[in-house]
Structure 1
Amino acid sequence: MGAIVNAICIVIGSGIGLIIHKGLSPRFSDIIMKGASLCVLLLGIQGAIKAENGLLLILAIVLGAIIGEALNIELVMEKFSYRLEKILVKNPDQSTFAQGFLSAVMIFCVGAMAIVGSLQSGLLGDHSMLYNKGILDGIISILLAATNGVGVLFSAVAILIYEGGMTLLAGQLGNYLSSSVIAAMSSTGSVLLIALALNMLDITKFKVMNYIPAVFLPILLVPFLAWLGF
């Protein structure tokens, strides 16, 4: 239920953003996008500083990057978004559909609230964090859709699949998802949010999608490091 509400909030926010988009000049689009990027950066920093185990975080990021780069997840997602763009947009060469879709998916999926909220929903039946996240995502989607267009709207489907899948995963793997695992997954996702925000500000060019496996590696790394005595 929490994932559904979250997706609905994104659809509503994107709709409002698309209405604003029609009368928005490039000057205002740029400053709004930079403001949204700073908000994403803040959310990432807030989550990352809560990391309890620096070694675990380093291992998750490094190993996750290797796996993601080998699978080339970012390229796969880019091809998928461009295919959607060709199907849904009349003039894809002049569209920001793919950029909006990819940015929105990363912002809404890798943050601490997406991970912890989905796990709480699956483990405890507590949807409150996803409800709160839905409100925040709705506000951010207004800003993103106002600058990047309709691609943000279609990210709601990806969020529904991602958070719904995480909720089901939590239900199946509840015995293995200790508080330490959840905290590590959350802080790892927050580091990726920082990387995404830096990309949005045109400071870096991280292939953030290729780091996605890092979010899930703590499920294996936490018990492994505990066995080693770390």
Structure 2
Amino acid sequence: MLGTIVNASAIIIGSSVGAIFKKGIKEKKKAILLQAIGLVAISLGITWIVTNLSKSNEPLLFIASMVIGGLIGETIDIEEKVNRLGKRFNSNKDNKLIEGLTTAVLLFCVGTLSILGPIESALKGDNTLLFTNAMLDGITSMILATTFGIGIMLSGVILFAWQGTIFLLAQFIGPYATPEILNQISIIGGILIFSTGINILEIKKIKTINLIPALFIPVIYNIPFINKFFNEVLGFFVH
């Protein structure tokens, strides 16, 4: 768990440093930083989508995942529950902490390094990927915190829980972390990051948090008996 602890700590430290700088930034400059982060999120999202879609052997899986995941998320209404929780810690209605935190969690948790890192750490004792990820996340969290504040630190706690779970379940998850599944997760992650950018720029309100369950559909789909079932159903309709 050393790599995960270092990764989460880097985010917490980076967020703390960024929050300190935030206090000295005027509101006018905060506005342009917010726009910059929104544009960066959109750019990263497009990059993830294009890069990984070209590598995918199942280009329709991410579509089905988005639809199924969206229906699950909307039924549970995850976003409303998160917003209620956020209001308890944030009295400023104009603060975009939720959007910032969503962006941070997606950037930190969806990437290949964040998924393969704890698996490599658990199965091989190799923390190289996690240490690399820690440097990247530390810098990113500092930048995000200069705009969204100290609340970005919570993404470090979420990342610790995420990577810790993967670490503990590595024996089970490892065989399913195939390049294809990672591609699908990255495509979906790219779409979600793109949508958070749209939210930050206030182009249109998208319930990004309700779409997060889509990230788990490719993994579930790749479980042998579920994959066989879907293929049989698809074969039935095709023939």
Residue 17 of structure 1: aligned partner: 18
> More displaced, 188-197 or 53-62?
188-197
Tell me which of 87, 91, 95 is aligned to 1:82. 87
Query: Contact 1:60 / 1:221 at 8 angstroms: preserved in 2?
Result: no
Higher-Rg member (1/2): 2
Residue 69 of structure 1, CA deviation: 0.7
Distance 1:112 1:192 in 2: 15
SS in 1 for 2:169: helix
Distance 1:123 1:188 in 2: 26
Tell me which of 58, 70, 73 is aligned to 2:63. 58
Opposite residue 161 of structure 1, the aligned amino acid is: A
Q: How does 1:1-230 map to 2 (within 5 A)?
A: 1-49=2-50, 50-51=52-53, 52=56, 53-83=58-88, 85=89, 92-93=91-92, 96=95, 98-99=97-98, 100-122=100-122, 124-222=124-222, 224=227, 227-228=231-232
Query: Contact 2:16 / 2:153 at 8 angstroms: preserved in 1?
Result: yes
Q: TM-score, normalised by structure 1?
A: 0.83
Cα deviation code 1:56-94 (max 9, x no counterpart):
0100111010111111111122222223x16xxxxx246
Query: Contact 1:73 / 1:209 at 8 angstroms: preserved in 2?
Result: yes
Query: Contact 2:105 / 2:155 at 8 angstroms: preserved in 1?
Result: yes
Residue 103 of structure 1, CA deviation: 4.0
Query: Contact 1:111 / 1:190 at 8 angstroms: preserved in 2?
Result: no
SS in 2 for 1:212: helix
Identity %: 34
Distance 2:20 2:118 in 1: 30
Residue 195 of structure 1, CA deviation: 1.3
Q: TM-score, normalised by structure 2?
A: 0.80
